[in-house]
């Protein structure tokens, strides 16, 4: 059945600059630390924020099926190029790499690093003219899938090097001279790293203490400070270092500036203080790096002075796609493990896969893996289609959803393997069983919801972007810091916008689903996505009206909106990909594929329903009060371990 758009044209949202955006948020009730963090992040928001994407449209009730159907196909030429590299990489991993030995010793043998360099694995996306393989984002994600299925340590080495290390920011922001100097080196295997974190700088770069002072002639900067947990830092030849440069006056007030520098590790004053060790990723070359009067030429600034956070955020927008892709590989490996084990392990007179409790877990692993892969491939294709496209929301959703799903998947894989899941691969082998490394995979995978934007920060980021169109329309009206005349003007503009937009959220249509030929099961789920997107937009608007500027503090509530939008993206990406796979599948496979996607979408709809319900009925306020009492030490019963 086709749906015809009979609703009025939606008014265009008001366009604002990044500086104006910052003033759209009422910071008057914030403490100095919160205000500094917000102002700095707002100023660094990507200019792409002015456009809309499939992901951002979902939160505004503007689901547009033509933005996700048909599922983007990789061209044969691009696929062949990727396959040629992936075959070489797979052969090398199988023949030369022993992940359990790497985990046991905490070292990646130098011949493995050299072999990877020879294959071009350190310069997958770097263009051939600079000595790289020049592969697409989709092929890079496919390589991350392969690596993620094989070994977390090598995945982290290559990902920290090229997703956040020198290659990605240089490709995006480097001058021709910087590219010519550094890209051939890093493509050939000189390891690079990204240094932002400090003991007091985790998720909040506003508190950065590493400083870069210009020399009197302005030709150099002198860096002083210490960076924590710098992955690849103990092996790197070159680093991207974030440092505070002299503050700038914005609206009569000094604003902190962060600048990104390319720093050669052999520059006098750079010192690797120590190597850090973790629960998993035991062969991560991660360390504390100290900078003592390190003199760096001005030419080594990336993008511009004061634009470091923009470099970091933009780099991560694309760089963040590596983790969900690696999680796809890990999840497929889990699926392989549970498929074999649940079919052969007999308990209580049947294969454990026949027991409903285990079958339920296997379905979850399969459905979520398909959705994760669909999100990762769709998001990668956005980058390949247009290097300047806005992929921030899709990448953040894929990272948030993919890393959380992968953790559940590895946890349930351990449960299905029972005691053998908890036993180390070495111990299994020593007893004569196959060394299936679920225990190592679990240790290696836990970090994924913490680094490259923790789940909490991803939800805040996505909530900020979800609210962005509303802030542009109504932010100034609600901001007590804005003069009354301006607020009244903004109120009139907002009134006009919402008079068109709000009624539209109650009307069906506009999704363009009618133009697309779809399997009936997929169509049913896509109709749900379209109507749930409008419901999401209405509920978000109601929350804004109810809480006003205080909505920003309702993190748990906002998290539910974000989770609904993210599930809708997962459903849409899965249905779109399934529709395109149907064409290539035999009838029996088609039935199974539809069964898989129907199961996944039905389960996602239940999660969405729970989140909608949680918007109205929740214990958020009680939980917050309880946590504050705990923090104040109000319950002496907890201060004694033994009652």
Ligand X SMILES: Cc1cc2nc3c(=O)[nH]c(=O)nc-3n(C[C@H](O)[C@H](O)[C@H](O)COP(=O)(O)OP(=O)(O)OC[C@H]3O[C@@H](n4cnc5c(N)ncnc54)[C@H](O)[C@@H]3O)c2cc1C
> What does each C-alpha distance from 520 to 10, 138, 513, 578, 598 come to in angstroms?
29, 29, 12, 12, 11
The interface with ligand X within residues 362-391 (CB under 6 A) comprises: none
Out of 122, 194, 407, 528, which residue is the one contacting ligand X (CB under 6 A)? 194
Out of 135, 195, 265, 326, which residue is the one contacting ligand X (CB under 6 A)? 195
Burial of 575 by CB count in 10 Å (0-12 exposed, 13-18 middle, 19+ buried)?
A: buried
Out of 259, 286, 317, 331, which residue is the one contacting ligand X (CB under 6 A)? 286
Out of 451, 547, 599, 612, which residue is the one contacting ligand X (CB under 6 A)? 451
What is the rounded CA–CA span in Å between residue 383 and residue 394?
A: 11
Maximum Cα interatomic distance, the chain, rounded to a whole number of Å:
82
Q: How far is the CB of 79 from ligand X (least distance, A)?
A: 31
Nearest to 122 by CA among 94, 97, 103, 147: 147
Residues whose CB is less than 8 angstroms from the CB of residue 521 and which lie 6 or more positions away in sequence, other chains included: 594, 597, 598
Out of 65, 147, 230, 391, which residue is the one contacting ligand X (CB under 6 A)? 230
Q: Is the peptide bond before 23 cis (omega within 30 degrees of 0)?
A: no
Phi, psi of 640 (to 5 degrees): -105, 125
Q: How far is the CB of 242 from ligand X (least distance, A)?
A: 8
The interface with ligand X within residues 419-448 (CB under 6 A) comprises: 447
Residue 226 binds ligand X (CB under 6 A): no
Q: Give the residue with the Cβ less far from ligand X, 106 or 514.
A: 106
What is the rounded CA–CA span in Å between residue 149 and residue 151?
A: 6
Out of 274, 278, 336, 542, which residue is the one contacting ligand X (CB under 6 A)? 278
Residue 262 binds ligand X (CB under 6 A): no
Residue 600 binds ligand X (CB under 6 A): no
Residue 450 binds ligand X (CB under 6 A): yes
Q: Taking CB under 6 A as the rule, which mask of x and - marks residues 149-188 in contact with ligand X? A: -----------x----------------------------
Q: How far is the CB of 380 from ligand X (least distance, A)?
A: 22
Q: What DSSP state is assigned to residue 169?
A: H
Out of 46, 226, 456, 620, which residue is the one contacting ligand X (CB under 6 A)? 456
Residue 454 binds ligand X (CB under 6 A): yes
Q: Give the residue with the Cβ less far from ligand X, 371 or 458.
A: 458
SS (H, E, C) 328-376: HHHHHHHHHHHHHHHHHCEECCEEHHHCHHHHHHHHHHHHHHHHHHHHH
Active site residue 90: no
Count residues contacting ligand X (CB under 6 A)?
Answer: 23
Question: Rounded to the nearest 10 degrees, what angle do helices 392-417 and 438-445 cross at?
Answer: 150
CB-based contact 190:130 (threshold 8 Å) = no
102 CB neighbour count, 10 Å cutoff: 21
Q: Which residues of 277-291 are buried (b: 16+ CB within 10 A; e: fewer)?
A: eeebbbbbbbbbbbb
Residue 620 binds ligand X (CB under 6 A): no
Q: Segment near ligand X (CB under 6 A), from 75-83, 252-260, 329-337, 456-464?
A: 456-464
What is the rounded CA–CA span in Å between residue 490 and residue 479?
A: 10
DSSP codes, 493-545: HHHHHHHHHHHHTTS---S-GGGS---HHHHHHHHHHHHHHHHHHHHHHHHHH
Q: Segment near ligand X (CB under 6 A), from 22-30, 41-49, 257-265, 452-460?
A: 452-460
Q: Taking CB under 6 A as the rule, which mask of x and - marks residues 496-535 in contact with ligand X? A: ----------------------------------------
Phi-psi region of 348 (alpha: psi -120 to 50; beta: other; left: phi over 0): left
Q: Segment near ligand X (CB under 6 A), from 100-108, 193-201, 507-515, 566-574?
A: 193-201
Residue 285 binds ligand X (CB under 6 A): no
CB-based contact 560:95 (threshold 8 Å) = no
Residue 192, classed as helix, strand or coil, is strand
Phi, psi of 582 (to 5 degrees): -55, -40
Residue 246 binds ligand X (CB under 6 A): no
Q: Give the residue with the Cβ less far from ligand X, 69 or 194.
A: 194
Q: Give the residue with the Cβ less far from ligand X, 450 or 544.
A: 450
Q: Give the residue with the Cβ less far from ligand X, 17 or 203.
A: 203
- Catalytically annotated residue among 452, 465, 552, 554: 452
The interface with ligand X within residues 546-585 (CB under 6 A) comprises: 555
End-to-end CA distance of the chain: 65
What is the rounded CA–CA span in Å between residue 423 and residue 192?
A: 35
Q: Give the residue with the Cβ less far from ligand X, 182 or 229.
A: 229
Q: How far is the CB of 288 from ligand X (least distance, A)?
A: 11
Residue 457 binds ligand X (CB under 6 A): yes
Q: Segment near ligand X (CB under 6 A), from 51-59, 78-86, 189-197, 332-340?
A: 189-197
Residue number of the CB atom closest to ligand X: 202
DSSP codes, 112-128: HHHHHHHHTTT-SSS-G
* Contact residues: ligand X, CB under 6 A: 160, 193-197, 202-203, 229-231, 278, 281, 284, 286, 447, 450-451, 454, 456-457, 460, 555
Residues with active-site annotation: 452
């Amino acid at each position: 059945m086709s749906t015809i758009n009979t609703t009025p044209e939606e008014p265009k949202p008001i366009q604002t600059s990044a500086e104006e955006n910052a003033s759209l948020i009422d910071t008057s009730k914030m403490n100095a630390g919160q205000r500094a963090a917000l102002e700095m992040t707002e100023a660094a928001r990507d200019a792409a924020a002015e456009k809309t994407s499939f992901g951002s449209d979902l939160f505004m009730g503007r689901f547009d099926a033509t933005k996700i159907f048909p599922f983007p196909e990789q061209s044969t030429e691009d696929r062949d190029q990727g396959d040629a590299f992936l075959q070489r990489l797979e052969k090398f991993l199988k023949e030369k790499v022993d992940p359990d030995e790497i985990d046991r010793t905490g070292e990646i043998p130098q011949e493995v690093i050299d072999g990877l360099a020879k294959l071009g694995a350190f310069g997958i996306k770097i263009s051939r003219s600079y000595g790289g393989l020049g592969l697409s984002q989709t092929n890079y994600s496919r390589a991350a899938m392969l690596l993620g299925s094989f070994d977390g340590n090598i995945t982290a080495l290559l990902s920290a090097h090229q997703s956040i290390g020198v290659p990605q920011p240089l490709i995006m922001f480097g001058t021709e001279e910087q590219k010519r100097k550094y890209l051939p080196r890093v493509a050939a295997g000189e390891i690079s790293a990204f240094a932002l974190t400090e003991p007091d700088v985790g998720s909040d770069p506003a508190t950065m203490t590493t400083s870069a002072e210009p020399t009197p002639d302005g030709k150099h900067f002198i860096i002083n400070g210490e960076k924590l947990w710098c992955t690849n830092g103990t092996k790197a030849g070159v680093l991207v270092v974030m440092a505070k440069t002299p503050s700038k006056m914005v609206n009569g007030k000094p604003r902190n500036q962060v600048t990104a520098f390319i720093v050669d590790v052999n520059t006098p004053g750079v010192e690797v203080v120590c190597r850090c060790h973790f629960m998993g990723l035991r062969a991560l070359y991660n360390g504390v790096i100290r900078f003592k009067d390190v003199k760096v030429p001005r030419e080594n600034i990336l993008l511009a002075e004061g634009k470091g956070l923009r470099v970091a955020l933009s780099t991560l927008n694309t760089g963040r796609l590596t983790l969900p892709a690696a999680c796809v590989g890990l999840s497929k490996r889990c699926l392989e493990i549970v498929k074999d084990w649940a079919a052969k392990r007999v308990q209580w007179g049947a294969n454990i896969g026949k027991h409903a409790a285990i079958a339920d877990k296997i379905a979850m692993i399969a459905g979520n893996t398909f959705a994760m892969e669909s999100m990762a491939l769709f998001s990668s294709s956005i980058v390949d289609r247009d290097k300047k496209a806005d992929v921030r929301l899709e990448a953040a959703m894929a990272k948030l959803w993919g890393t959380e799903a992968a953790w559940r998947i590895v946890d349930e894989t351990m449960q299905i393997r029972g005691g053998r899941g908890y036993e180390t691969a070495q111990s299994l082998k020593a007893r004569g069983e196959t060394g299936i490394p679920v225990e190592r995979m679990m240790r290696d995978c836990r970090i994924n919801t913490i680094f490259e934007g923790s789940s909490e920060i991803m939800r805040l980021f996505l909530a900020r972007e979800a609210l962005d169109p509303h802030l542009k329309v109504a932010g100034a009206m609600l901001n007590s810091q804005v003069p009354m005349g301006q607020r009244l003007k903004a109120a009139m503009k907002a009134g006009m916008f919402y008079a068109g937009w709000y009624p539209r959220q109650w009307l069906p249509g506009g999704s363009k689903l009618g133009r697309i030929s779809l399997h009936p099961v997929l169509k049913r789920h896509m109709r749900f996505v379209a109507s749930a997107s409008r419901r999401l937009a209405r509920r978000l608007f109601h929350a804004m009206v109810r809480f006003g500027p205080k909505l920003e503090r309702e993190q748990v509530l906002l998290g539910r909106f974000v989770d609904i939008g993210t599930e809708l993206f997962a459903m849409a990406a899965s249905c779109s990909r399934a529709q395109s796979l149907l064409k290539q599948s035999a009838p029996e496979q088609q039935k199974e594929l539809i069964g898989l996607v129907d199961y996944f979408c039905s389960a996602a709809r239940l999660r969405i329903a729970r989140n909608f319900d949680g918007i109205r009925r929740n214990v958020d306020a009680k939980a917050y009060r309880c946590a504050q009492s705990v923090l104040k030490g109000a319950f002496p019963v907890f201060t004694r371990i033994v009652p």
